[in-house]
Chains A and B, each alone.
Chain A
Amino acid sequence: MADSTELKHRIRSIKDTHQITKAMELISISKLRKVIQKQSFSSIYFDNVRYTVKDILLHSSDVINPYTQKRMGNRTAYIVIAGDKGLCGSYNSDVLKLAWQDIQTKPEHYVITVGQMARSFFESKERSIDLAFTHAVTNPTLHDARGITRDILNLYNRNLMDEVFLVFTHMYSASFRKPEIIRLLPVLPEDIQMDVKPTFSGDILYDQAPNEILKIIVPQYLIGLIYSALIHASASEHTARRTAMSNANQNADKILDELNLQYNKLRQDKITTELADLSAGRI
């Protein structure tokens, strides 16, 4: 049986760690709530942008926009979104594994990472990273999404890549999330899934050619996609961390219970022996 001071020491250190995991769980819960709230504000706007882009692409025959045209080459860029920190179960490894598998199938590819974990993953695989963003995942803002979109479009405009894919974790519900790959560029109508029902279904007149409108709203469509991917990734990370931390909390409670029991037993033993010694008059 272990020494009582040793046990005491272990109990104290587990208690300390328990406090940290408890705080992390609470932080994840509150961050998750904030992220979901943000998502609900922006979704009306971006759903409508998506709808309009799709409407123009489907109904206008003479659309000329550099972002909606397929390019001939096969240079593929991947934007991989993972977390800034670990300690969130399999969240990071799942999304990175998917990205890695898909990247292997493309002969010519670029890697753009968002988040520390994504960066260190590719560094450990000795795959050079072409562009890295940090800070954007812990607390995604529109400003971050705009910055990323601007940089990507810049590269795309310079004709450095033919297709751009976004790899992120889609959060379906509190308990179900899945890493996914979606196409960002070129913008194709079949990629746009409509989740809003338009209130008006008649023909809409486009003042200024649809091209003019596309020029303005395609970048916004991309910002919307990246923003919602960041939000989904962030929400997934927080749910994953919450689950991991609540498991850790449960385990800590269990271990503490056991150790406390052991410690009390040990203490009781010692007292009993001392009492017995004293009453027997032994020195």
Chain B
Amino acid sequence: MNKFYLEIITPEKKFYADEVEKLKLPTSAGECLILANHQPMVFALEPGTLVLTQSGEAKEAFTSEGFVEIRPDAVVVFSQAVEWPEDIDEHRAREAQERAQEQLRLLKSEAEFQLNKRAMQRAFARLKLKKGGHFFRQ
């Protein structure tokens, strides 16, 4: 399978930089799979789970909001935060989720609603990945 160079960059660090075969991303238009030799493109990322496949082995990671740039020489993911499942702080994510739920109850304006929706999305995505989907089956 053809490979392409993938870089994942967050404000804190360079999270990943290596050759991969496949990359699956959560975008605002749904899930999106990138293979080698993709057309140059930019699109926005939603909080969720990204899956990268390297030498046949799939790895999952949490990603926050951001955007992806597909260039001829590389695919670069810019995200506010990317974490491997083992690095996710479950306690913090749960707290964030509760906070967002509480705020949602107090619902004030459209803008605040959007902000909360994002916070909730992030919390859910983290918890989902951490528990391997268990959270939603409960």
- Residue numbers of A with Cβ under 8 A of B are 41-42, 44-46, 48-49, 52, 142, 150, 154, 157, 199-200, 202-208, 212-213, 215-217, 220, 224, 227
Contacts and interface: CB of A to CB of B under 8 A. Distances in A.
A41 B45 CA distance: 21
Nearest to B110: A157
Contact of B43 (A154, A157, A206): A206
A48 B11 CA distance: 11
Contacts of B74: 199
A220 B79 CA distance: 10
Contacts of A41: 11-13
29 contacts: A41-B12, A44-B14, A45-B9, A48-B78, A49-B78, A52-B67, A150-B115, A199-B74, A200-B73, A202-B40, A202-B72, A204-B41, A204-B69, A205-B40, A206-B42, A206-B43, A207-B29, A207-B42, A208-B27, A208-B29, A208-B43, A212-B28, A213-B42, A216-B65, A216-B66, A216-B67, A217-B44, A217-B67, A227-B11
B10 interface: yes
Interface string B1-36: 000000001111110000000000001110000000
Given A157-B111, A207-B29, A212 B66 contact: no
A203 B41 contact: no
Contacts of B76: 48
B39 interface: yes
Interface of B: 9-14, 27-29, 39-45, 65-67, 69, 71-74, 76, 78, 80, 111, 115
Contacts of A202: 40, 72
B75 to A, nearest CB: 12
A213 B11 contact: no
B11 A204 contact: no
